[in-house]
Amino acid sequence: MRLDRLLGITLELMAKQRITATELADKFEVSVRTIYRDIEIINQAGIPVVSFSGADGGFELMNGFFLTRQHFSVDELSVIYTLLKAMEGEMGGAVAPVMRKLTSLHPGLVNEENREAVILGFRTSNDVREVVQELFQAIRQSRVVKLTYTSASGTETKRSVEPMNLLWEKGIWYLEGYCRLRRARRYFRVSQITQLDVSDESFVSRNIPDEPEWDEVQGISAHLRFDMSVRSRVLEQFAGECEYHGDCIDVRTIFYRKEYALSVIASYGINVEIISPDELREDVIAHFQSICQHYEKKRGGNET
């Protein structure tokens, strides 16, 4: 979780006079490029971090700056504290040390009255919660996981994955890892992992080239309308993005790959209508036409 990492980096800067990007990257198990991006975000938040180059280079807080209880109000820290509190059920006791450090800045955070205005619920099922906890331990121990995964189109595959991160996106848990089957970085929706086995095999983190973060990717903003006959599947697949309109469900979502969008939409057949964009509708029509042409050729070949 990025919020947890940003807070952790800030506390590291408070505890040490100077620390390098490489040391931070190793500690938080991310790339050096990600650390530089996080430092920029911390600077934008009003915490002055100074960068030094050369053999003795690194990052440190501006001379004379101290992070005190006056820097953040109790309301501001309450948002962070409550988010971490909500994560306890998913991540076990891993967030407890960060919460203790926050309460050292503002002891009033433990008072429920100070946090009554902030309500956060992860609302994950018990099955998903158990899988998240197993994956979290596998990440910490650098253990290979073997999983059975069902794609949005219903295709089931068995994967061997080197888990890297757990991501929380729009109310849904995802696993980021190196898929040995695809030989590339892949994202797996946790609720679609039907079977999980944490093996005894350990792995060394790979140097996978940085990819654009999800919020930096220019995706396809789509407005879809689904028939009520596929209600259960739509609610699962597009959790938090559904709007009821009598006899149909409208979904406004973003697809980050056209191929994935085509596979998802095609899997719903005549039970989905593409409201926008027009380009996606044309792509789907072309997709089905190519399938028809493929089988027409196959049928013609059999007749001769």
Give residue 199's pLDDT. Answer: 94
CATH fold of 126-202, please?
SH3 type barrels. (2.30.30)
Question: Residues of 245-276 as b/e, b for ≥16 C-beta within 10 angstroms?
Answer: eeeebbbebebeeeeebbbbbebbeebbebee
- Domain coordinates in residue numbering, the chain: 2-115, 126-202, 218-299
Give residue 114's pLDDT. Answer: 45
Residues of the chain with pLDDT under 50: 1, 68-70, 112-122, 212-217, 304
Give residue 50's pLDDT. Answer: 81
Architecture of the structural domain at 2-115: Orthogonal Bundle (1.10)
CA angle 102, 107, 112 (to 5 degrees): 95
Give residue 14's pLDDT. Answer: 74
The answer to whether the beta carbons of residues 58 and 92 sit under 8 Å apart is no
E strands in the chain? 49-52, 58-61, 143-150, 156-169, 172-179, 184-189, 193-202, 220-227, 242-244, 248-255, 272-276
Give residue 218's pLDDT. Answer: 52
CATH fold of 218-299, please?
Alpha-Beta Plaits (3.30.70)
Give residue 104's pLDDT. Answer: 59
The answer to whether the beta carbons of residues 219 and 252 sit under 8 Å apart is no
Strand order through the sheet with 272-276: 242-244, 248-255, 220-227, 272-276
Q: Give pLDDT tens digits for 157-199.
A: 899 999 988 877 656 778 888 989 888 888 888 888 999 999 9
**Integer Cα distance of 58 and 192 in angstroms:** 42
Residue of 108, 15, 14 whose CA lies nearest to 67: 14
Phi-psi region of 104 (alpha: psi -120 to 50; beta: other; left: phi over 0): alpha
Give residue 214's pLDDT. Answer: 42
The answer to whether the beta carbons of residues 169 and 253 sit under 8 Å apart is no
Give residue 161's pLDDT. Answer: 94
Give residue 116's pLDDT. Answer: 42
Q: Give pLDDT tens digits for 79-90.
A: 565 566 656 655
Give residue 258's pLDDT. Answer: 81
